[in-house]
Structure 1
Amino acid sequence: MVWLRRSAVVAAAGGGLAAGYLGLVTGALPVDLGVGRRTRPLGPRSVDIAASREVVFDVVARPYLGRTPRAMREKVNVLERGSDLVLAEHYTPVAGGRLTAVTVETVRFTRPERVDFRLVRGPVPQVTESFVLSEHEAGTRLLYEGQMGTDLWRLGQWWGAAVATRWEDTVAASLASVKAEAERRAAGSSR
């Protein structure tokens, strides 16, 4: 009988660890201890876009400040909308699409040169990011950079490295999407 009780304790602890891990990965269990905080850069990454800065800004801002297009509703849900600041949920498939990470971020708009993101809730306690739009000979250069902070010294540093890889991959896909849509709009308006 002792082995049965020990097995039950081990199973409960393992289940608790698994639930904690799932909560952390999906952002449902945010952990912000403020102990052993380490930061790491995100980016920088830039993309040149053959469209005006205003067009690029509008492409980035539209899902937040305007009506969220149907195709974006699986990725973004605006919880609160102001004239230059929104609170939005972002949905990112993880674990091969079996899970969805949900982050909540503020998004601030400074037309036409800047969009700033600040994490409110997610798999790490701190993220700040920016899209800076500058005029470039071929149109617009969009520069992405940010910073991610994690707690618990080396353990948090390891977790941050794992999260940052997926985070930056998601940003790269967003930048490619912004480029394609802005260039499509610019080509359509020049006809």
Structure 2
Amino acid sequence: MVWIGAAVATAVAGAGAAAGYLGLVTGALALDVGVGRRSRPLGPQTVDIAAPREAVFDVITQPYLGRATRAMREKVLVVERGSDMVLAAHRTPLAGGQLTATTVETVRFTRPERVDFRLVRGPVPAVTESFTLTEHGPGTRLVYEGELATDLWRAGQWWGGLVAPRWEATVAASLSSVRQEAEQRAALP
């Protein structure tokens, strides 16, 4: 009978660990204990775009300040809108679309040179990011930089090591979409 109790306890512990992991990965469980905080840089990622800075800024801010395309409405939900800042939920598919990670961030706009993001809820306790736009030749240079922070010393550092590459890959895909859309708009007569 003792082995049955041990087996049940092991199964319950395993299920709890799996649920905790899924909660962290999807952003449903926000863990912010404020001890043992460690930070790591995100980026920089630099993209040169053959479009005017104002056009690039408009492409970046359209899902937040304007009318979002259907594809962007599936990825970004504006929860609250102010004059120069929004609170937005960002949805990112995981595990081949089987799961969806949801982060909630404030997004602040400084036309036409900067867009700043600050994590409110997600898989780590803190992320700050910026898109900085400068005129570069006949187009625009967009530079992404940020910082990701985790708690709980080495365990958090390990978790940040798992989260950061996926986070940066998601940003890289977003930057590629921004470049494509801005260049298409700039090419229109």
TM-score range, shorter chain: over 0.9
Alpha-carbon offset, residue 31 of structure 1: 0.2
Q: Give the partner amino acid of 1:182.
A: A
| Structure 1 residue 66, shift from structure 2 partner | 1.1
> Could you tell me the percent identity over the aligned residues?
73
Tell me the residue number matched to 2:12.
12
Task: Give yes or no for contact 1:43–1:146 (8 Å, CA) kept in 2.
Answer: yes
Residue 97 of structure 1 is matched in structure 2 by 97
For 1:40 and 1:77, how far apart are their aligned partners in 2? 27
Amino acid at match of 1:120: V
Q: Residue 163 of structure 1 aligns with which residue?
A: 163
Unpaired segments of 5 or more residues in structure 1? none
Matches for 1:1-191 after TM superposition, within 5 Å: 1-188=1-188, 191=189
1:83 shift after superposition: 1.5
| Aligned length in residues | 189
What's the TM-score once normalised by structure 1's chain length? 0.97
Secondary structure, counterpart of 1:130 in structure 2: strand
Opposite residue 76 of structure 1, the aligned amino acid is V
Task: Return the alpha-carbon distance in structure 2 between the equivalents of residues 125 and 78 of structure 1.
Answer: 21
Q: Which runs of 5+ in 2 are unaligned?
A: none
Q: Deviations over 1:103-124 (max 9, x none)?
A: 0000000000000000000000
Whether the 8 Å contact between 1:65 and 1:82 is mirrored in structure 2 is: no
* Contact persistence 1:55–1:186 (CA under 8 A): yes
